[in-house]
Structure 1
Amino acid sequence: MSQNERVQEELEALEAILMDDISIIYNDQGCAELVKSTIFPSTANEVEKQYVCVTLEVQLPENYPDCKPLIKLKSPRGLDDSTVDHLYREIDKKCEEYIGQAVIYELIELIRENLTESNLPTCQCAVCLYGFSEGDCFTKTQCFHYFHNYCLAKHLIVTEKHYHEEQEKLPAWKRSTEGFQATCPVCREPISCDVHDLRSSLPPKELENAQKFELTHELKLLQENMQKLFSYQKSKGGIIDIEAEENKLLLITNSSDDPSDENSDDPGPSIPTNITEGSLENGLLKNQRCFNRFTNNR
């Protein structure tokens, strides 16, 4: 049997077994060059309990299966880097073992077994940045991102509040008629969830057991350094333009009326002539207040 016949036989068997769960891409000569499949853990018919997934891409060299295929794992969901690295190592071993034989189905089953064994998100909640512990209530979004129920509820409540506040600032003709749409905090895809149910969940265990924030000596030193930076910015003209503040733009100017500054080694910006004392104070003081609120209320 020729090499092309062996490959074609393998691909036909894959399509018969996996049907719509596999995609085969052919080149201009009609030869298969890429096989793709998104793999989920085995959970019988309980699709809602599939908490992790990954897309396997198998690139077929001309002399496959007499050499190893090129493997890529794309769009891992619920898997941290160490888990993905482990999968790559296991895949490489399997490819070495099956040189000269059809290996794609073996790779799919290998990945499925690993996902089934670790069918609990090993990533972090993107809201609180803590992981998922046994007993935590968490949500898998339609885009396969993961959040503690408690954290996602808080995020959506605050997001909706800000949305309505921003809408109130607009003239009536500019306001949205569609209403608030919850989106994923990671990828911004629209999501559907019941905030009332989410907010009834307990906080994640790691968050409850986390050490309370304390203003350490190192942070006090950082505050002192920020105060010095604030004074330096004030003396040299650093400013957030009050008129451009709504657009979150930083105004940087290098204009100077003092010719003696031309040869100065000081790299700091000089005070622009078109900035008032009041606007300078307001912009710099706002920066300092933001920093103080972060360190004191963390």
Structure 2
Amino acid sequence: MHDDERVVDELEALKAILMDELTVKTDERGIAIGLETEVFPWTALDTQQQFVRVMLDIELPPGYPDKPPRVCLRNPRGLDDSVLDTIDQQIREKCEEYLGQPVIFEIIEVVKENLTASNVPCCQCCICLYGFREGDHFTKTHCYHYFHSHCLAGHLTASERIFREEQDKLPAWQQTEKFQAVCPVCRAPIKYDVTELSTAPPPIDVTEAPRSFEPSEELRVLQQQMAALFLHQKRRGGIIQEENHLLLLTDEPATAGGNR
């Protein structure tokens, strides 16, 4: 409920459109003071093609809609800061344009339009550390983390091999038959067809990466600094890892007075 009929009508319309996707927050008197909804891009109801999302949290101050609502974008996935800044700016402009009128539906539309235009994850694949380019085959987990399909296939194959090797070391009564794949980022259980993932080509950035590595001038300077630091530590005494993983303790030179 709400004291303003304009807000009551707006909330009823939003409930009819969004249904379970909309959560209305109320105070102790049952008066609506805000709402939240998770917003996805338009993909013709194909949820597998929704690669970005954001939680839209709207606070209705006393006097809304004659006063603008306070809007917060929470828990964005697959969106970079520039997209979020654009959404924030457009929401402010929309609130100014609709001041004195219900504006929540228009705010949701603004967010959806931007998510649809940015429906490619702006993060990196944490397996290969390359980003996602147009033409890359990538996978979105249910926990909204993103990986190149080729990379995820290799990760899952290696993980299962290691799992089997570790199981073989255990007595039979301690062994677990089933391997459970987990998200490389948050460790949530995931379920995928590795055979299908393996058919995907490598990421474009991987195939276009130079075959030989040439250190930059900045890296060469850093190498020289680290080499000097290594020699300094060795002269003063310390634990030094040498060939064949042999750990040696070097002696610190004595001072002029014979003290260490």
Q: Fold-level match, TM-score > 0.5? A: yes
Structure-2 separation of matches of 1:167 and 1:236: 46
Query: Quick one: structure 1 residues 283 and 234, their matched pair in 2 at CA, closer, same or farther if it must change by over 3 Å?
Result: farther
Matched with 1:124 is 124
Query: Quick one: structure 1 residues 235 and 215, their matched pair in 2 at CA, closer, same or farther if it must change by over 3 Å?
Result: same
For the Cα contact (< 8 Å) 1:238–1:284, is it kept in 2? Answer: no
Q: TM-score, normalised by structure 2?
A: 0.81
Shift of 1:284: 8.1
Shift of 1:16: 1.6
For the pair 1:29 / 2:29, whether they are aligned, the reply is yes
Shift of 1:50: 1.8
For the Cα contact (< 8 Å) 2:83–2:114, is it kept in 1? Answer: no
Matched with 2:104 is 104
Identity of paired residues, percent?
A: 50
Once superposed, which parts of structure 1, at least 4 consecutive aligned residues long, lie more than 6 Å away? 278-284
Query: Quick one: structure 1 residues 3 and 50, their matched pair in 2 at CA, closer, same or farther if it must change by over 3 Å?
Result: same
What are the superposed Cα offsets for residues 20-55 of structure 1, whole Å, 9 maximum, x if unpaired? Answer: 110112121222222111111222232222222211
Matched with 1:253 is none
For the Cα contact (< 8 Å) 2:167–2:176, is it kept in 1? Answer: no
CA RMSD of the aligned region, Å?
A: 2.9
For the Cα contact (< 8 Å) 1:230–1:284, is it kept in 2? Answer: no
Unaligned stretches of 5+ in structure 1? Answer: 240-277, 287-298
Matched with 1:189 is 188
Shift of 1:74: 1.6
Shift of 1:137: 0.9
Query: Quick one: structure 1 residues 33 and 172, their matched pair in 2 at CA, closer, same or farther if it must change by over 3 Å?
Result: farther
Q: What secondary structure sits across from 1:30 in the alignment?
A: coil
Matched with 1:211 is 210
Shift of 1:64: 1.5
| Deviates further, 115-124 or 139-148 | 115-124
Count of matched residue pairs: 246
Structure-2 separation of matches of 1:57 and 1:165: 47
Q: TM-score, normalised by structure 1?
A: 0.72
Q: What secondary structure sits across from 1:144 in the alignment?
A: coil
Structure-1 separation of matches of 2:168 and 2:101: 65
Amino acid corresponding to residue 76 of structure 1 in structure 2: P
Matched with 2:253 is none
Matched with 1:64 is 64
Query: Quick one: structure 1 residues 87 and 154, their matched pair in 2 at CA, closer, same or farther if it must change by over 3 Å?
Result: same
Query: Quick one: structure 1 residues 238 and 168, their matched pair in 2 at CA, closer, same or farther if it must change by over 3 Å?
Result: farther
Structure-1 separation of matches of 2:167 and 2:142: 27
For the Cα contact (< 8 Å) 2:127–2:147, is it kept in 1? Answer: yes
For the Cα contact (< 8 Å) 2:25–2:34, is it kept in 1? Answer: yes
Q: What secondary structure sits across from 1:9 in the alignment?
A: helix
Q: What secondary structure sits across from 1:181 in the alignment?
A: coil
Shift of 1:71: 0.9
For the pair 1:149 / 2:149, whether they are aligned, the reply is yes
Query: As a proportion of its length, which structure holds more strand?
Result: 2
| Deviates further, 13-22 or 154-163 | 154-163
What are the superposed Cα offsets for residues 165-209 of structure 1, whole Å, 9 maximum, x if unpaired? Answer: 44455x437955263321112222111111222122111112222
Unaligned stretches of 5+ in structure 2? Answer: 249-260
